[in-house]
Structure 1
Amino acid sequence: MTARSEIRVDPHLDGLVGEKHYLPTAGGYALGVLRIAFGFTFLWAFLDKLFGLGFATPAERAVVNGGSPTTGYLSGVEGPFAGVFNAMAGGAVWDVLFMAGLLGIGVTLMLGAGARVGAVAGAFMYLFMYLAALPMVNNPVLDDHLSGVLVMVVIATVPASWSFLGLGEWWARVSPSRFLR
């Protein structure tokens, strides 16, 4: 009698069949590192704007010193969407949403838990920044914001990106919704 090997598919872990991933292990680790790097980018932007660490935000414009994280960037927008973004600049609601977005996207991507939601939110944030940067100066079509959108789409849609180097597999088992992964 020959032994039959069973392949178990866990519906909670998209892209995982038994213990093996669709992507080779090295690819999974590369996607995990990419997710963490982008998470750190968002988390760093949050910390710099909150405390004015002197990189993109000087101390006197820090949120903890009464500064607005949206005023500097959005008040200087030119181009086809200038009116919309200029009107949003400095608004308390937009400031809170922007800071919450940076923090939430950064934490979910760094941890891997909830990375799908974080990546979708990150894609929208990059898309808004792209629209605020129109017209492009160096390349009339593609810039780093659209590249960021594409990376966020990969993170949101390829399960290996959140299951390697993080809490993604655990979160996939305990999350109440497939989308919340």
Structure 2
Amino acid sequence: MAASSANRLESRYGGVTLEGEPHALSAWFVVGLRVTMGLAFLGAGLGKLTIFAGEAFDASGYLMGAEGPLAGVFGAMAANPALIDIINVVVPATQILIGVGLLVGGLVRLAALGGAMQMSMFYLASWDVAGPLGFVNSDFVYLVVFLAIGAFGAGRILGADRYIEQLEVGGQALIERYPKLRYLLG
């Protein structure tokens, strides 16, 4: 199947222009990437629930073991029982919400931003930067993948965002009436 003129990638930023034509299968790979990351995060979140883990999730050990440039901050977080109680709920809950959002393709940019934020914190805590290109570890790769999912507008491809954006509100499509929602949907 030949690419149509509408099937183009183009960006101008800072005086630099990038152009290209994606392969006809690109949309399928974007969906596959979104679903794969959704399953990974849903599984990570569910795996932290007592019903599946057999014991309550506790982030304090991970935070105390942080080795990165923010090790002191993470250590202070671990030493604060009230904050740890919040973190122990927020981490699995947001992982589950991110996973579900990516799987159904709803609020994908918000989910991708949440995933990228979590992965940046994991990256800064693990600080596994050994080797000549050590700054590129799995946490960093996940961070970039989440940013790519958001940039691709992956929820518009076989996802709920495609339909949410077209919901009629006051005689207009939701995304036309509230254009700032483009930063959350897509």
Comparing 89-98 with 30-39, greater Cα deviation is found at: 89-98
Deviation at 1:103, TM superposition (A): 1.6
Question: What corresponds to 1:4 in structure 2?
Answer: none
Give % identity: 28
The letter for the 2-side match of 1:47 is: L
Alignment of 1:4-153 (within 5 A): 21-22=7-8, 23-51=22-50, 53=52, 58-59=53-54, 62-63=55-56, 67-68=57-58, 70-89=59-78, 91-138=84-131, 139-153=133-147
Superposition misfits of 4+ residues, deviation over 6 angstroms: none
Pairwise CA RMSD: 2.2
| TM-score normalised by structure 1 residue count | 0.74
For structure 2, the residue ranges without an aligned partner over 5 or more in a row are 9-21, 168-173
Partner of residue 157 from structure 1, selected from 151, 157, 162: 151
| Distance across 1 between alignment mates of 2:143 and 2:152 | 14
| Distance across 1 between alignment mates of 2:102 and 2:77 | 27
Q: Deviations over 1:92-149 (max 9, x none)?
A: 1222221222122111111111011100111111111110012523543211111111
Classify 1:21/1:173 alpha carbon distance in 2 versus 1 (closer, same or farther; 3 Å): farther
Q: Is the 8 A contact 2:128 2:135 kept in 1?
A: no
Question: What corresponds to 2:16 in structure 1?
Answer: none
The letter for the 1-side match of 2:63 is: L
Q: Is the 8 A contact 1:88 1:94 kept in 2?
A: no
Greater RCO between the two (CA within 8 Å, min separation 6)? Answer: 1
| TM-score normalised by structure 2 residue count | 0.72
| Distance across 2 between alignment mates of 1:131 and 1:52 | 29
- Larger relative strand fraction: 2
